[in-house]
Structure 1
């Protein structure tokens, strides 16, 4: 049985406000700011200000919340050598934990695709044991409850094009994330 959601954290980041839902056990869900998709000029393409700060916190500040905040701060820092040593914060999400193809895709993506690299939908399908399951990988990306932690922005088309992000509502965020990771 899952523990109840204990807190909600709103975090200011270079790609907009990130909402994080945490339980006592770990991070349950991450939502990215849709407004940054509609206003492409908001994103800092010079990668200048990469500060991450908590702007609102509702609920007890649990250890799982602290771990998630620290991970996000390291992700957006320009100290890539430190980030690469960083382990994922605890995760408390049924979809990720399920023993099915979607769960396997999400866990493989989180654990095996390094920061600064990309993989095609077909490549990820192959890593998960079914190289013909490209569409199923796409479906898993659409249902990803933990963007950034489970880096679906690193999954690209076979031609190398970025492809859709956040159901097509965050394509500029995906491109920013890919380029940002390649910078450091």
Structure 2
């Protein structure tokens, strides 16, 4: 009888141990659920890019209204990156503006990003629709890109010199940005990219 009771207890303990909830597996499942999808990265990135563009555009228009195009150049030189950084802090994601023909050399696109700009430019020139991209990073998360398309307002400082960009404006640009490459654009052309790192 003693041996039979002992056997029952051993069986009970064995079943209890094996059926006990595995908290380690639960943590793994939780981590897997928290990994962001490409669709989520695209949605998050687009929200941030649109909000950042609106903030820059609003402040740029105010600078033009107060001090004209020359005032806008000074604004871009002193405040644009600071505003972008403040948006990055607010959203807790790295936010940059990149170009294959930058005005500020800090905004130089990589070779891979230059190819992406060229692909977007080709599609836009051929009348194809363009949309944001999100590429998975090696260390997790995504790098989101949204094309920056030139408009009439942009051409005051980024258009053709001697036409949309007058000589006085161009002289101010060269004084602040000796290595400037960001002129010669027409409306509805790809001028660069918003680049946003979306982490898990």
> TM-score if structure 2 supplies the norm length?
0.31
- TM-score normalised by length of structure 1: 0.33
Which structure has more helix as a fraction of its residues? 2
Larger RCO (alpha carbons 8 Å, 6+ apart): 2
When you count strand as a share of all residues, which structure comes out higher?
A: 1
Q: Which has the larger radius of gyration?
A: 2
